[in-house]
Amino acid sequence: MGDAQKLTPDEQIRSAREAYENGTDFTVAVEEEFAVLDPETLSLTNRFEELQAAAPGTPLEEHLVGELIASEVEVRTGRCQNFAEAAARIGERRVQLDELAGGLGVALAAVGTHPWSPWQEQRIIDTPHYRANDELLRYVVWRNNTFGLHVHVGIRGADRAIAVCNALRNYLPELLALSASSPIVEGVCTYLHSSRTEIFTRTFPRCGVPDAYDGWQGFEDYVRFLYATGSISEHTQIWWSVRTHLAFPTVEIRICDAQPDLEEARSLAALCYTLTARIARALDEGEPLPDHPHRLIEENFWRATRYGLAGELIDLSTGDVRPARARLERLLEWVAPVAEELGAAQYLAVPTANSAERQLAQYEDGMSLQEIYAGLVRRGAPVRG
C-alpha cells in the first residue's frame, strides 16, 4: 500500500485500473484486529509500539501493523493463493501474535468493542496517515475504538470488480449478522448485537453501504470528485463496508466484527471469500443477481446491527421476513458449488450461537461484564488472579 500512497491521484487511479485488468481471480488475504490489554485488569493499554518494536526478526515482521490507536494491533495473512492457505495462516498469525504479546506481558482480544475502557484514554499512533485522519475527523476518529475482520479477494477485470462490489452490497447485512460480537461497550450492555457498527459505520463519512457504480468509470468519476473537492487526501479515506481497493486488485469486505473464536474467524472469512467468488461466477455466466436500492439494504443493515443472527432479515425480492439463520443457510447453499471447487466448503457453517448471542446470554444469566470479557481474552501473557 505504501507505494500506491506516493502516487498522484491520477497515477493511482490509472495504476489501479491496470492492476485489475491484469489481476488474478480468487487470491485471498485476511486482516484481523486485536485489542491490546493489560493482563491483570483486561483494560486497553497503549502498548502497540512495543509489539511493533519486538516484531522484527520474527514471522510477524512483515505482517504486524498499527491500526489507529496504540491499544490495537492488526495482523495480516498476506496474499494467499487459495483459502486453505489463508485458513492455515489465520491460525499461524494468531499463535505468532500470542507469543509476541506473551513475551511482553500483554494480553489480546478479538471482539468488536472493548466493554469498558474509555475512548478518552486511548492514544492515536503517531504516523502521517493517522495524524491526517485525526486532523480531519477529530471526535469521530477518537471515538472509534473498534476491532474488525477484513477479507480481500482478488478479482480480475476493473469493470468486473465493480460489478462484484455492487452485488456484494446486497449481502452485507447477512455477513454482519453472522459476525456480530460487540453487544457491550462503555460499561453497558447495549443490546445491539454489533455496537461496533454504530460506532464506526454510522459516524465515519463514506462508510456503510455504498451506492452501486456504473462500471469502473462510474467509480473512477466518484473518486476523482472526492479528490478534486478536497473531500479526501488519500484513497483509504473511502471507508465503505465493501470497496474496490486502489492499492491492490481486490474487493475488500470490511463489515465484519472481530471474532474471538479461531474457527468462527475462519468460517466467516470463508463465507466472505466464497460469496465473492460465487458472485463473480454468476456475473460471468449471466446469472441474475440482486440489485436492491440503498434504502432497502439499509433496513436489513439495521436489523443485523440490532439483532444479529438471532433476528430476522427481509427477503428484499419478495418482502418476506425470515429468520437471519435461515437467510444464512440459504446463502451457504447458494455458494456451496464454488466453495467445493475452491476448497473452502469444510470451513462454512452457521454456528448454534455467535459471539454476540453468547455474550448476551451470559449477561442475562447474571455474569458481570468483566467475567464475560475474561472468557474472550487470548491469554498470550501470564495472567494472575
For the stretch 49-70, pLDDT in tens is 999 999 999 999 999 999 999 9
What local confidence, expressed as pLDDT, does residue 63 receive?
Answer: 98
If you average pLDDT over residues 229-251, what whole number do you get? 96
What domains are defined for the chain? 2-375 (3.30.590.20)
- Direct distance between the N- and C-terminal alpha carbons of the chain, in angstroms, rounded to an integer: 42
Going by C-alpha positions, the residue among 108, 89, 225, 242 that lies closest to residue 165 is 242
Per-residue confidence at 379, pLDDT binned at 50, 70, 90? Answer: low
pLDDT of 3 above 90: no
pLDDT band at 385 (very low <50, low <70, confident <90, very high): very low
Give 384's pLDDT tier (boundaries 50, 70, 90).
very low
Q: Please give the sequence-ordered ranges of beta strands (E in DSSP) within the chain, or none if there are none.
A: 28-37, 64-67, 69-76, 107-109, 148-154, 184-185, 188-189, 207-208, 239-240, 242-244, 250-257, 312-314, 321-323, 377-378
Kindly list the distances between the CA atom of residue 95 and the CA atoms of 7, 159, 222, in Å, as whole numbers in the listed order.
36, 38, 41
Least confident of 135-144, 263-272, 361-370: 135-144
pLDDT in tens, 69-97: 999 999 999 999 999 999 999 999 999 99
> C-alpha grid cell for residue 4?
500506491
User: So what's the pLDDT on residue 4?
Assistant: 45
Q: What is the mean pLDDT of the chain?
A: 95
- DSSP class per residue in 152-195: EEE-SSHHHHHHHHHHHGGGHHHHHHHH--B-EETTEE---SBH
Q: Which amino acid is at 31?
A: E
- pTM given for the model: 0.95
pLDDT of residue 242: 98
What value does the mean pLDDT take over residues 300-312?
Answer: 98
The pLDDT assigned to 129 comes to: 86
Find the range with the poorest average confidence among 25-34, 36-45, 185-194, 374-383: 374-383
What residue has cell string 472469512?
269
Q: Do residues 356 and 183 make contact, with C-beta atoms less than 8 angstroms apart? A: yes
Residue 382: pLDDT band (50, 70, 90) is very low
Mean pLDDT, residues 158-184:
98
What distance in Å separates the CA atoms of residue 78 and residue 89, rounded to the nearest whole number? 8
Give the confidence band of 1 by pLDDT, cuts at 50, 70, 90. very low
153: its cell numbers: 479477494
DSSP 250: E
The pLDDT tens digits of the residues spanning 185-225 come to 999 999 999 999 999 998 999 999 999 999 999 999 999 99
Tally Cβ neighbours within 10 Å of residue 41: 13
Cβ contact 342:26 at 8 Å: yes
Confidence at residue 6, expressed as pLDDT on a 0 to 100 scale? 77
In percent, how much of the chain has pLDDT > 90?
Answer: 93
Integer Cα distance of 16 and 2 in angstroms: 14
Q: What is the pLDDT of residue 25?
A: 98
Where residue 380 falls among pLDDT bands split at 50, 70, 90? low
Mean pLDDT, range 328-350, rounded to an integer: 98
